[in-house]
Amino acid sequence: MALLEVNDVHAYYGYIHALKGISLTVEKGEIVTLIGGNGAGKTTTLRTISGLLKPRHGSIIFEGEDIAQYRAHQLVAKGISMVPEGRGIFAKLTVLENLEMGAYLRKDKDGIAKDMKRVFELFPRLAERKNQVAGTMSGGEQQMLAIGRALMSRPRLLLMDEPSMGLAPVLVELIFDTIEEINKAGTTVLLVEQNAHMALQIAHRGYVLQTGEIVLSNTAKELQKDPTVQKAYLGIE
């Protein structure tokens, strides 16, 4: 059984039909990426899975349970965590407080301390700045914080929305290495990216979205070789 199974999901923003029957699966242990242009529905797909947006039609099965009607804060307890678009850190809270918010639902103090240590090992920069107000950090550091914070709930499925957005190439590399590392440690990742080149390098499988529909799906290796993907998303003529 797949960890996540999205079946024929339709979602709307007001009157705009943003998702027109999305179906996808994510197996345990995978990195799956959604690529596509602006307005293709990548972010909307993640928002629907994370419970921020309710689907009008269709089912979302996570670990065998239909979660389509749950709200976002309930899904965190079920094991889904999201790194939102534009990082969404709490700018006025300190780095430490941001991480504590990530562990909001947990009561096991020892476990939280252990995971906090792990996040600081993953991103030593955060350890240096743990008492700093998060809004004063650079974009890259904020992205590290957003990822670390999402890990603090010990998710079984990590949704990531454009983690490379607005970052310098060196940092993009670092962030993607970390995503691979997180995945190897056992967390399944569903990754939305504009940077299809990087995303397909680390992903096992990928889906291509266009105007609210999935137009192509295959293993990442095959997608990299696919002439239409190369032309439209990888900039290879």
Partner 1 sequence: MREKFFERFSWVSLVLNSFRIIVIILIVVGAFNTLQGGKYTTSQWVSLSVSGLAQGSIYALIALGYTLVYGILLMINFAHGEVFMAGAFTAVFVAEAFKESGFLDSSPLLAVTILILVAAVVSTVVAVILERVAYRPLRGAPRLVPLITAIGASFFLQYTFRGLYGSGFKSYPEVAAVQGTWHIAGNDIPIVQIVVFVAAILLMVALYWLVERTKVGKAMRAVSENKEVAALMGIDIDQIIVMTFAIGGALAGAAGVINGLYRPQGVSFTMGFFPGIKAFTAAVLGGIGNIPGAMLGGLFLGVFESIGPNLILEGLGIPAANQLKDAIAFTMLVLVLIFRPQGILGERLTEKKA
73 scored as a contact of partner 1 (CB under 8 A): yes
Among 42, 129, 149, 205, binds partner 1 (CB under 8 A): 149
CB 16 within 8 A of CB 183: no
Q: Binding segment for partner 1 among 23-31, 145-153, 175-183, 188-196 (CB under 8 A)?
A: 145-153
Q: Is 42 in the site for partner 1 (CB under 8 A)?
A: no
Considering the complex, what minimum distance in angstroms separates the CB of residue 162 from partner 1?
Answer: 15
- Residue placing its CB nearer to partner 1 in the complex, 158 or 175: 158
DSSP string across 95-152: HHHHHHHHTTT---HHHHHHHHHHHHHH-HHHHHTTTSBGGGS-HHHHHHHHHHHHHT
Applying CB under 8 A, does 113 fall inside the site for partner 1? no
Report the nearest approach of partner 1 to the CB of residue 135 (Å): 8
Q: Is 41 in the site for partner 1 (CB under 8 A)?
A: no
90 binds partner 1 (CB under 8 A): yes
The one segment of 89-97, 111-119, 187-195, 216-224 that binds partner 1 by CB under 8 A = 89-97
Q: Does 54 bind partner 1 (CB under 8 A)?
A: no
Q: Is the dihedral of CA 198, 204, 210, 211 positive or negative?
A: negative
The DSSP secondary structure of 46-86, one letter per residue, reads HHHHHTSS--SEEEEEETTEE-TT--HHHHHHHTEEEE-TT
Nearer to partner 1, 44 or 224 (CB): 44
Buried b or exposed e, range 186-210, using 16+ CB within 10 angstroms:
ebbbbbbbbbbebbbebbbbbbbbe
Residue 97, interface with partner 1 (CB under 8 A)?
yes
Nearer to partner 1, 45 or 50 (CB): 50
Specify the DSSP element, H or E, that contains 229. Answer: helix 227-232
> Where along the sequence are the contacts to partner 1 (CB under 8 A)?
50-52, 71-73, 76-77, 81-82, 84, 88-93, 97, 100-102, 104-105, 149-150, 153
